[in-house]
């Protein structure tokens, strides 16, 4: 199988609430979808990345480049570096 999912492989110590049967059943088709879309529908991936980047830009602008948390800020810095370059406003 070209794709895999580890959603159902959790240590009993970390499993606070058991997965429902619906979750277990939906895990595999969703994992296939996640694997297949970038390979067979690259236009969908490009549109999703464009929308996501726009959302990053809007959050940066709405929070004066501070974002709402340290983790999202790290992701935003990487995204803006790739998207706008090292001389863009978020880096000045």
Q: What is the DSSP string of 22-56?
A: HHHHHHHHHHHHHHHHHHH-HHHHHHHHHHHHHHH
- What confidence score (pLDDT) does residue 2 get? 60
Q: Write the pLDDT tens digit of every residue in 36-64.
A: 888 888 998 899 999 999 999 999 889 88
Q: Tokens standing for 85?
A: 């370059």
pLDDT greater than 90 at residue 12: no
For range 8-27, the mean pLDDT? 85
Residues 3 and 32 in one domain: yes
**Average pLDDT, whole number, for the chain?**
86
Please tell me the total count of domains within the chain.
2
Residues 52 and 84 in one domain: yes
Residues 36 and 65 in one domain: no
- What confidence score (pLDDT) does residue 52 get? 94
Q: Tally DSSP H helices, then E strands, for the chain.
A: 3, 0
Residues 32 and 1 in one domain: yes
Higher pLDDT, 1 or 90: 90
Residues 35 and 55 in one domain: no
Residues 58 and 86 in one domain: yes
Q: Tokens standing for 29?
A: 């088709």
Full domain range(s) for residue 68:
47-91
Full-prediction pTM beyond 0.95? no
Higher pLDDT, 28 or 8: 28
Secondary structure (3-state) at 22: helix
């Amino acid at each position: 199988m070209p794709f895999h999912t580890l959603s159902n492989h959790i240590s009993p110590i970390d499993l606070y609430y058991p997965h429902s049967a619906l979750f277990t059943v939906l895990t595999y088709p969703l994992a296939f979808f996640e694997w297949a879309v970038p390979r067979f529908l690259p236009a969908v991936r490009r549109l999703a990345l464009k929308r996501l980047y726009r959302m990053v830009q809007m959050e940066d602008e709405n929070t004066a480049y501070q974002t709402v948390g340290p983790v999202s800020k790290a992701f935003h810095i990487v995204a803006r570096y790739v998207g706008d370059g090292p001389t863009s406003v978020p880096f000045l």
